[in-house]
Structure 1
Amino acid sequence: MKIDLNQTEIKSGVKHKIKILFITTGLNSGGAEVMLLSLLSSINRDRFEPSVISLLDKGIYGEKIEQLDIPVYCVEMLEGKPTINSAWRTTKLIKQVKPDLIQGWMYHANLAAQFFNFFVAPKTPVLWSIHHSLHAISAEKPLTQGVIRFGSWSSRYVAQVAFVSEKSQAQHQQIGYSKVNSCVIPNGFDTSKFKPSAEIRQKFRQELHIDEHTFLIGSVARYHAMKDHANFLRAAHLLLAEYPETKFVMVGTNVDYENQALTSLIDTLGIGDNVYLLGQRSDIPQITPALDILTSSSAYGEAFPLVIGEAMCSEVPCVVTDIGDSGWIVSDTGKIVPPKNSTALAQAWQEVITMDTSAKADLGRLARNRIIDKFSLISIVNQYEHLYQSMID
C-alpha cells in the first residue's frame, strides 16, 4: 500500500492519520520529558495522531501535553513496583487507543511497550527511544541495571531503537544492543523560545539582587547523583578564591534550601553568600539568557543534555564535563573538562571570565549558530516523522 506524504490512506480510500501511542516512564522534570513535549508540540497533526501513556502520573508535563489536545493516560504505577492492576489498566488503554505504532520513551517504558505489544498488539511496530549514556552501568540503580541488561537482549525484537546521541548508541551496542535496527536522533531546540535577551538578563538579575556586571554561572539540573552538584560547588569554592564577587545559581528539582546535603556542603565550603538555590522552575527561558556561563557538571549518565543546547541558543557559553555527547554539542563554542574534576572545572570557568567582552560575545554567537545549523527542532521533528512514516510504508 502506497502512503502519500501528507496522509496515510487505508484501502477504503478514507484518510487516516497514523496513530502513535507514546509510552513514557513518567512526565516529571528531565531532559527526555522536555524533548517529548517538544516533539508533541511540533509533530504534524495532519499526518499523526499522538496519545500518551505515563506509567507513573502526569508529573509536571502531563497538563502541558493535554493543552496540545493530546490525551494523556496515567497508570499510576508505584515507581519500580508494577502490579497486576497497573498491567491490566495499560492493557485496556492500548486496546482502547488501537495505535498504528507504539513508541517507548526511556528505559522502563521501552520494555513496557515491548511487553504489552507482545500480548496485546503483536502486529503493531514498537520503537524505543533511549536518552541515557552508559559511562558506568555499575553507577545505575540495581533495577535500572537489570532493565538495561534485559534491553540488550530484547532490542533485536523491536522495529527500531532511536538513541539520542552517537556515544549512547556506541555504549549500548558494546553491551549487546542490536546494531541492525538502530539510529541516532539527537535532541532538538526551539531557537525562537531560547534566544539572547537583554531584558530577560536584567529582570532575572534584579530577582537575585545582583547587577549587570556580576559574573553569573548557572547549573540547571535535577538533584541526582549523576548530576554531581558537589563537583559544581567545589569548583565554585576554588574559583571564589580568585574571583570572590562571582555568583552561582542552581536550578532544578530538589535543588533548594530544604536539601540538607547541598546546604551542608555549601556551609562547609563557606560559599553561602555567593550561591542561590532556586529549586524547580518552569520559566527556564526566562533564566538562561541572564547567565554568563552555563555548566553541566555531570559525572555520568548524560546522553544529550537539553540545558546545554538551550544555553547555546541563548548565546551563553557552556563549560561542560565530557559525558555523553556534551562535548560534541559544545564543540569549539565553549570549554570541555573531565568529569569529577573540580580543579579543571574552575580553571575552565576562569578562562572564560578572563576573555575580553567581544571574544565572549563571539563565543556566544558561534554557539547559537551551531544549534541552528545542527540541532534545530524542526529538523529533529522531521527525522522522527520520517521514522514513523517508514514503519508504516
Structure 2
Amino acid sequence: MTKKVVHIITGLNDGGAEGVLARLCLHSKKVQHVVISLLDEGKYGLLLAQSGVTVHCLGMNPGKPSIFRLFRLIRLIRAEQPDAVQTWMYHADLLGGIAARLAGVHRVFWGIRMSSLERGKSSRLTLWIARLCALLSRWVPEKIICCANKALSVHSALGYQSDKLVMIPNGYDLSRFKGDPEMGNSVRRGLGLGSGVFVMGMVGRFDPLKDHFNLLDALAKVAETEIDFRCLLVGKGLEPDNAALTARIADLGLQDKMQLVGQRPDIPAIMNALDLHVLSSCSEGFPNVIAEAMACGIPCISTNVGDALDILGDERTICPAKDTTALAELIIVMADEWKRNPAAWEVRKNVSTQRIKERYSIDSMVSAYESCWFGKGNIGSQLCAD
C-alpha cells in the first residue's frame, strides 16, 4: 500500500523551502504527497496541482491567527489520513505540528531552514515561535530535519531536542540545472551583454538578509580597477522601481554596471548567462543558488553563511559576512583568473559541476526523506530511524 505524506507549509511563494518542497513532491514516486498551504497557492501551488499533487490552501491571515482555521486544518489532516506529516519552517512547525498531533498523527516531522536567529535579523514573532518550538520539540516531532549542518548546531544550542535533529541537504534536478552555453548566450543577447564582458550575478529576493548593499559597496571598489564587468540582480523586488536600491546604485556611480532583472522563471538560463555567481548574504541556511549555479558549471563565491562553504568546498572562494573589502578582493581575483587563465577557469567550471553531481542530486535527497519518514537510513552522520 502506498504511503501518504501531508506537507504543511506557511505559503507556496518563491523561496528556498518552497522550492525544495516542490522538488521533493515531484520526484518522490514511492509516496503519495498532499500539500497544505496555510496561506495561498503562491508560485508552486498550481505547478504541484498540475502534476497531480493535491494542494489545499487555508487562506490564513498571518497577522491574525484564527482558531476556526486551526480547527479546519485539524479536520483536513484527519480527512487525509496521512501516514506522516512533514512541516516546513517555524510557523508551520508550530501550527501544523500541533494540529497533526490533535488529528491523531503520531509521525510528525519538522523542517528547519534557517541557520541563524538573531535580534534585528529575524522578527520578534519568529524568535518567539522558534523558542516555543524548542520547548515543544520534546513532544511534537518524531524527527527534526535541518537543511544544513549550521542549522542543526544552532537549533541544538537553542534547546531543540538534540537527539531528534537530523540533516538532509537539498537536492537539485540536474536535468534542469546543467551547463547550456547557448541558453546562456540567448539571455545575454536579450539583456544586451557582449561576450567580452565579465558578467556577475546574484539570484535572490531583495531582503536585508541577502545584504545587496554589501555587494554594491564591494562592486564600487571593483569598479575602481580596470575590470570591465556587469552585474545582474535577479529576484523579487530587484526591479528598477526599487527606490532604495536605485538610489544606492546612483550614489556609488554604478548605473552603467548594474542591471536590475527582477523575478524570472528561467533561472537555469540566467545561471548559464553568468561568468560568476556572487552571494553577499549575512544569513543563510543552505543557499540553493550556489548549488544551482555550480550545477550549471558557473563558479561561485560567497560570504561565510550557513552551509555555503560545505557546498563550495574551497575556502579560497569564501569571505566573512559584511566584509565589503574581502568580498571585493574575491571578485577581483576571480575576474583576473577568468581573463588571464582560461584553462584554469575551465577546470574551475568542471569541478563545480562535478561537486554538485556527487553530493547534491535530487535522488539522494528524496531517498533520505523517504528513509527518514518510513525506514532506516544513514543521513550524513545522523541516523533517521523508525
Trace 1:157-168 onto structure 2 (pairs within 5 A). 157=139, 158-168=141-151
Determine the structure 2 residue equivalent to 1:24: 9
CA distance in 1 between partners of 2:230 and 2:246 (Å) = 16
> Over aligned residue pairs, what C-alpha RMSD do you find?
1.5
Give the alignment partner of residue 95 of structure 2, picking from 106, 112, 124: 112
**Runs of at least 5 residues in structure 1 that lack an aligned partner in the other structure:** 1-15
Shift of 1:20: 0.5
Give the SS at the match of 2:110: strand
Give the alignment partner of residue 209 of structure 2, picking from 226, 241, 249: 226
**Residue 359 (str. 1) matches residue 344 (str. 2):** yes
Q: So what's the TM-score if we normalise by structure 2?
A: 0.94
Do 1:113 and 1:126's aligned partners in 2 also have CA atoms closer than 8 Å? Answer: no
Length, aligned pairs only: 374
**Residue 58 (str. 1) matches residue 41 (str. 2):** yes
Determine the structure 2 residue equivalent to 1:10: none
Q: Deviations over 1:26-45 (max 9, x none)?
A: 1111111111111111002x
Do 2:70 and 2:95's aligned partners in 1 also have CA atoms closer than 8 Å? Answer: no
Determine the structure 1 residue equivalent to 2:360: 375
**Residue 143 (str. 1) matches residue 91 (str. 2):** no
Do 2:301 and 2:330's aligned partners in 1 also have CA atoms closer than 8 Å? Answer: yes
Do 2:10 and 2:89's aligned partners in 1 also have CA atoms closer than 8 Å? Answer: yes
Do 2:74 and 2:100's aligned partners in 1 also have CA atoms closer than 8 Å? Answer: no
CA distance in 2 between partners of 1:245 and 1:261 (Å) = 25
Q: Deviations over 1:140-168 (max 9, x none)?
A: 10100111111111112210001001111
Trace 1:324-339 onto structure 2 (pairs within 5 A). 324-332=306-314, 335-339=317-321
Do 2:185 and 2:273's aligned partners in 1 also have CA atoms closer than 8 Å? Answer: yes
Do 1:163 and 1:185's aligned partners in 2 also have CA atoms closer than 8 Å? Answer: yes
Please identify, of 35-44 and 235-244, the stretch whose mean Cα deviation from structure 2 is larger: 235-244
**Residue 283 (str. 1) matches residue 270 (str. 2):** no
CA distance in 2 between partners of 1:114 and 1:197 (Å) = 42
| Paired AA for residue 5 in structure 2 | I
Determine the structure 1 residue equivalent to 2:81: 98
Determine the structure 1 residue equivalent to 2:167: 184
Determine the structure 2 residue equivalent to 1:264: 247
Determine the structure 1 residue equivalent to 2:176: 193
% identity of equivalent residues = 34
Give the alignment partner of residue 293 of structure 2, picking from 300, 308, 311: 311
Please identify, of 82-91 and 159-168, the stretch whose mean Cα deviation from structure 2 is larger: 82-91
| Paired AA for residue 58 in structure 2 | V
Do 1:333 and 1:363's aligned partners in 2 also have CA atoms closer than 8 Å? Answer: no
**Runs of at least 5 residues in structure 2 that lack an aligned partner in the other structure:** 377-384
Give the SS at the match of 1:371: helix
Q: Deviations over 1:55-114 (max 9, x none)?
A: 111111111111210011111112242212322321231122111111001111111122
Determine the structure 2 residue equivalent to 1:174: 157
Determine the structure 1 residue equivalent to 2:331: 349
Shift of 1:340: 0.6
**Residue 255 (str. 1) matches residue 238 (str. 2):** yes
Give the alignment partner of residue 136 of structure 2, picking from 148, 151, 154: 154
Query: Cα distance 1:138–1:254, how it changes in 2: closer, same or farther (>3 A)?
Result: closer
Q: So what's the TM-score if we normalise by structure 1?
A: 0.92
Please identify, of 132-141 and 173-182, the stretch whose mean Cα deviation from structure 2 is larger: 132-141
CA distance in 2 between partners of 1:81 and 1:239 (Å) = 46
| Paired AA for residue 25 in structure 2 | L
CA distance in 1 between partners of 2:315 and 2:234 (Å) = 23
Do 2:227 and 2:335's aligned partners in 1 also have CA atoms closer than 8 Å? Answer: no
